[in-house]
Amino acid sequence: HAQTAPAAAATPEPAASPFTANISLTTKYKFRGQDQGNTNWFSPALQGGFDWSQNGFYLGNWNSNVSFSNAALEMDFYGGYKGEIVKDVGYDVGILQYYYPQKNRTLDFNVTELYGALSYDWLSFKTSWTVSKDYFGIGESFQQGVPLTAMPKGRNTLYFDLSGNYPLVDKLTLNAHVGYTRYASDLRNVRDGAGASIGVPSFADYKLGVTYDLGSGFSAAGALVGATKKNYYGDINKARVIFTISKVM
């Protein structure tokens, strides 16, 4: 009779790599409800980045094309620590640098934020606090435009983010978000030479959509995204339906 082969030794599972990468193509890039390209409904953006994480610590980079003023590229660099307080209750603290490589710059859009978040199951709440002197060049633009004797500071601008990603059925997730940008008092209370208030109003933004897991790291998403105070900010705050295809590696 045939000899039975000895059982093969169990092969240990390879350790998960601490590195991941992601890439996506979207019909429009909105940041905190506002267009980062032109105001057409279709102004596609190619986006992607890399992440390293180990023992709760993480570092990452994310990039996207943009088209406002003379900026063409946004590069985000971030690092922080994630942990769990009790089962299903997590926290996340870190620092994020928005960087815009520019030639012949007219405004400095670079911003540094500290953030902290709490999450429970599929729900999360995050607060971001601007620690750089300006917030995406808004104070500098006021100083150039009025002009003012001193630049209004964007430091202490806050952003509040309540988000939920609720699994509806297999592979389909409901994505809901509401955010609020509370500008620093310097930016809200700018006055011109005649004493008239010309500061920027704080505003809310929102998102409602779904994501479908296509398998092999691919996903497809569709969402309605917009922001309030359109009478002040114009069409950059207009609600748009945005479609995105993503791949995680």
- For the stretch 84-103, pLDDT in tens is 999 999 999 999 999 999 87
* DSSP string computed for 120-163: ETTEEEEEEEE-SSSSTTHHHHHHHHTT-SSPPP-TT-EEEEEE
Check: CB of residue 236 under 8 Å from CB of residue 39. yes
* DSSP string computed for 214-242: EETTEEEEEEEEEES-HHHHGGGG--EEE
Give the side-chain half-sphere CA count within 13 A for 121: 2
Q: What is the pLDDT of residue 106?
A: 81
Q: What is the pLDDT of residue 194?
A: 82
**For residue 28, which phi and psi values (nearest 5 degrees)?**
-160, 140
Q: What is the pLDDT of residue 3?
A: 47
Q: What is the pLDDT of residue 66?
A: 93
Instruction: Collect the ranges in the chain with pLDDT lower than 50.
Output: 2-5
Q: What is the pLDDT of residue 69?
A: 67
Q: What is the pLDDT of residue 70?
A: 72
What pTM was computed for the model? 0.91
Compute the distance between CA of residue 82 and CA of residue 90 in angstroms, rounded to an integer.
Answer: 7
Q: What is the pLDDT of residue 174?
A: 98
Q: What is the pLDDT of residue 53?
A: 97
Collapse the DSSP code of 186 into the 3-class scheme (helix H, G, I; strand E, B; otherwise coil) and give the result: helix
Which secondary-structure segment (H or E) carries 188? helix 185-188
Compute the distance between CA of residue 225 and CA of residue 208 in angstroms, rounded to an integer.
Answer: 7
Q: What is the pLDDT of residue 85?
A: 95
Check: CB of residue 228 under 8 Å from CB of residue 202. no
Q: How far is CA 45 from CA 14, 38, 111, 185, 223, in A?
A: 35, 11, 21, 33, 15
176-218 pLDDT, tens per residue? 999 999 999 999 999 887 888 899 999 999 999 999 999 999 9
Q: What is the pLDDT of residue 38?
A: 85
